[in-house]
Amino acid sequence: MGVTKEQLESTLTSKLNPQHLEVTDTSGGCGASFVIDIVSERFEGKRLLERHRLVNAALEEEMKEIHALSIKKVLTPQQWKQQQEESEKSKSAA
Amino acid sequence: MAAINLPFIHSPPSLQIFSIKSPQSTSKFLLFSQSIASPLLSSSSKLYTTAKARASSLIAFAARNLSESELNSVPETAGEIAGKFPSDAGVYAVYDKDGDVQFIGITRSIAGSVATHWKSVPELCVSVKFGVVDEPDRTTLTQAWKSWMEEHIKATGKVPPGNESGNATWVRQPPKKKADLRLTPGRHVQLTVPLEELIDQLVKENKVVAFIKGSRSAPLCGFSQRVIGILEAEGVDYESVDVLDEEYNNGLRESLKTYSNWPTFPQIFVDGQLIGGCDILSSMHEKGELAGLFKN
């Protein structure tokens, strides 16, 4: 039953070739609820909805077992770089 | 004192307290009752002075029965209202253009309430009588209201229309929650069109539709709850559909997933287009992108 964090990671890695990927199991280990941060070139030029669709489609099989999937960050490498630089800045500013 | 006051007091509760001298009755309560009675005692100047002095030291609800309060016409702008009426707590009566009492209410801010009423029903809110209540605890305010109501009912034989039960014109109520939309008349009714078509109609006929788990007043999943929270915060008029309602939305979950090609709930549609789920809505909300979307 359930899906593991590793399963999700390997599926997403193979299908979306992410530059950065962070899967967090928020179900407390029962494999029903995950939060995903993903950065991939595949998202270039795509709206938020389409990006989510890509992730959802990649996880089609897994979704049958998952109750809740929260895609927190779905960014292009460029956006991710920007975000990181901004957070660096705010850190150094603080 | 009690013997003199008795014939003059209108309200039965006060009368009761005076006559039985209930040990629970607080001094404030007694003073309050005196203060109502005081204008009626004006023939006896000595008593009047005593009562007035005591009342003014503690309670400003003196000499403020309904008939003797001054009638103030309501000015045309919110600013003037704030200038003309005190922002103190008290009791007030709203009169229409014919001079009939429409509503008697109590408030934490007389000016605030008058402004609110004037804004919502200007045609019924032409002039206002008010009585400021010092030390406005709930009991004192309620008593003030009761005495005005009783006075009005005694004089006219009827309850002000705005105070009749079921009249929601004057009382600020929490925004009424709409009912959730139902897709079908019930699970045992054979549909003549596919469910997808009903979904299609629904999302195209309504500007904003949220398909959620549970009802809008009691969402059953955290994500649905967040979506409702965001929509309420945006102040947008939206429809909701409970995808867990097996009776009236039987089969909706599967059909909707296919229709929208979206695997999870909640799902939010604007102008017939899927916007996304909770994550997308949250993100757009944070970036302030929703207002524009809902406006057009």
- Bigger pLDDT: B56 vs A74: A74
- pLDDT for B45: 43
ipTM over 0.95: no
* DSSP one-letter code for B163: G
Condensed to tens digits (0 to 9), the pLDDT of residues B124-152 reads: 999 999 999 888 888 888 989 999 999 99
CATH topology for B71-163 is GIY-YIG endonuclease (3.40.1440)
- pLDDT for B173: 56
Contact A48 B262 (CB under 8 A): no
- pLDDT for A29: 65
Give the mean pLDDT of A28-41.
85
Q: Do domains B71-163 and B195-294 have the same CATH topology?
A: no
Residues with Cβ within 8 Å of B87's Cβ and at least 6 positions away in sequence, in order, are B109, B110, B111, B112
Residues with Cβ within 8 Å of B8's Cβ and at least 6 positions away in sequence, in order, are B37, B40, B41
Contact B264 A72 (CB under 8 A): no
Give the mean pLDDT of A64-73.
86
**B201 lies within 8 A of chain A by CB:** no
Contact A68 B279 (CB under 8 A): no
- pLDDT for B10: 32
Tokens of B17: 């307290």
Residues with Cβ within 8 Å of B236's Cβ and at least 6 positions away in sequence, in order, are B208, B290, B294
Every domain of chain B and the residues it spans: 71-163, 195-294
Which residue, among B243, B264, B293, would best test binding to A if mutated, counting the most A CBs under 10 Å from its CB? B264
CATH code: domain B195-294 is: 3.40.30.10
Contact B223 A70 (CB under 8 A): yes
**A49 lies within 8 A of chain B by CB:** yes
**Cα B19–chain centre separation:** 37
d(C-alpha A65, C-alpha A32), whole Å: 7
Condensed to tens digits (0 to 9), the pLDDT of residues B155-198 reads: 999 999 999 887 878 876 555 568 899 988 888 888 888 999 99
Report the share of chain B in percent with pLDDT over 70.
Answer: 76
- Average pLDDT of chain A is 88
d(C-alpha B6, C-alpha B37), whole Å: 9
Condensed to tens digits (0 to 9), the pLDDT of residues A8-20 reads: 999 999 999 999 9
The answer to whether the pTM exceeds 0.80 is no
Amino acid identity, residue B180? D
- pLDDT for B172: 63
Condensed to tens digits (0 to 9), the pLDDT of residues B285-295 reads: 998 888 888 87
Tokens of B77: 């702008």
* Domains by residue range for chain A, with CATH: 5-93 (3.30.300.90)
Give the mean pLDDT of B222-250.
92
Contact B276 A49 (CB under 8 A): yes
